[in-house]
Each structure stands twice: as C-alpha cells, then as structure tokens.
Amino acid sequence: MPAPSATIPPPPPAADAPPPGVLTLFIAFTQIGLTSFGGGLSGRMMRDFVYERRWLDEEAFLNGLALSQALPGVNVKNLAIWIGYRLAGWRGAVAGFTGIIAPPAVLIVLFGVAFSTLTRFPLTHVALAGAAAAAIGLSISMAITAVRRLPRRTLPFAVMALTFVSVAILHWPLVWTVLIGGALSVTLEYRRTAVASASAGSDAR
C-alpha cells in the first residue's frame, strides 16, 4: 500500500515512454489492484501511469478519470478499461479490466472465508481503519490535483460547487445530478467556445 504521506511529484511535461504491451499492462494493473485500497486506486493509477511509467500525460489521465466518474459502474474499473484501451486497444481494455478486478476478487473471497475468525482480533480492526485512512488521503490528494488543473474560469468551479451542494447537502439523485450538470456545462462551454471563435474571426478581418 502506498504511504499516505507520500506527495505526488511534479508533473512530467508529457508521456514520453513507448506504449506497453498487453501482458505488461495486465501485470501493472494486477500490481495496483493487489497493493492499493478503496478510493486510493485512482491516485495510485495516476502515480504509476503518469509519473513513474509515463505512459500517459496528466491531462489525458484526468480526462479519462472524469469520463470514468461520469459513466455508470465502478469508477476504478471504468478507468482501467479506458487506460487499457487508450494504450493497447481492445486487448489493453481486457487486460486492464482483468488485472484490476480478478486478483482482488480472489483475495476478497479468501478473506471472506477467514473474516469471521480475523474479526476476533483487535489488530484486524486497526489495520482496516489504517487502510481506510490511507485511501481517504490518496483520494484527497487526487482531488487537489484535479482541481489545480481546472481552467481558471467561473463555469468549472460553479459546476463543481453546484454538484457538491446537490449531492452532499440536498441529497439529489446522483444520476440526475450528473446528467443535468453535465449537459449544462457542455452546453455553456460550447457556447463560450463558439462566441470566442466568432470574436477571433471578426478581429482577424
């Protein structure tokens, strides 16, 4: 498990490593799946694929993360499929999905068999609490990194704030929040881009 206190290094200028093979991708996702916990998986993926292996640049990874969070299903599974497909096509997508899901699934079955016995020991609860704390720390680090990369405009921060209020305070259904917020932000951004392009065209004349 990655140390909770570890800081993310400065971002590389761009992905500069050759694309990996399918087996290499499978092994990489298997290692991540077996050595990370909970919400810390996306942070571990970013560290591994962007900063260490340099298979992706930061912007591409964050775009994939946003897409995986907007789609139904488990975010980490969606992200693994997206990364695998981007790096090695459909075979990479299969490798990403299998590597991130299969090994932890085997472990959870084995752990479930022994869980009733392990819960008798106080150390088990301490270990689970520590893993949860590490996952929360990595998730916060991931969120801070994503916020730093947001364009310094009103719209992205307004959508982020409205989404937080809708889900955390008003308890609106997540599906409708994502659909409405996503459609609204895409529409407004499209209009902003169109106006900027028209303005640039008129200035050129």
User: What does the pLDDT read at residue 163?
Assistant: 84
Closest-CA residue to 93 (of 78, 82, 105):
82
Q: What pLDDT, on a 0 to 100 scale, did the predictor assign at position 91?
A: 96
Separation between Cα atoms, residue 160 and residue 31, nearest integer Å: 32
User: According to the model, what pLDDT value does residue 184 have?
Assistant: 82
Neighbours of 16 (CB within 10 A): 9
Alpha-carbon distances, residue 86 vs 7, 22, 91, 96, 194 (angstroms): 26, 12, 10, 11, 29
pLDDT of 205 reads 60
Any alpha helices (H) in the chain, and if so which ranges? 22-35, 40-46, 58-70, 75-118, 122-148, 154-164, 174-204
pLDDT at 13: 44
pTM as predicted:
0.64
In the numeric block, which tokens belong to residue 189?
Answer: 């951004």
- pLDDT (tens, 9 = 90+) of the chain, 205 residues, equals 444 444 444 444 455 678 899 999 999 999 998 887 655 678 889 889 998 999 999 888 988 988 888 788 788 899 999 999 999 999 999 999 999 999 888 888 887 777 777 777 788 778 778 877 777 777 777 677 777 766 667 777 788 788 888 888 988 888 888 888 878 877 877 787 777 777 766 655 6
Report the pLDDT value the prediction gives residue 78, as an integer from 0 to 100. Answer: 93
* pLDDT on residue 136: 76
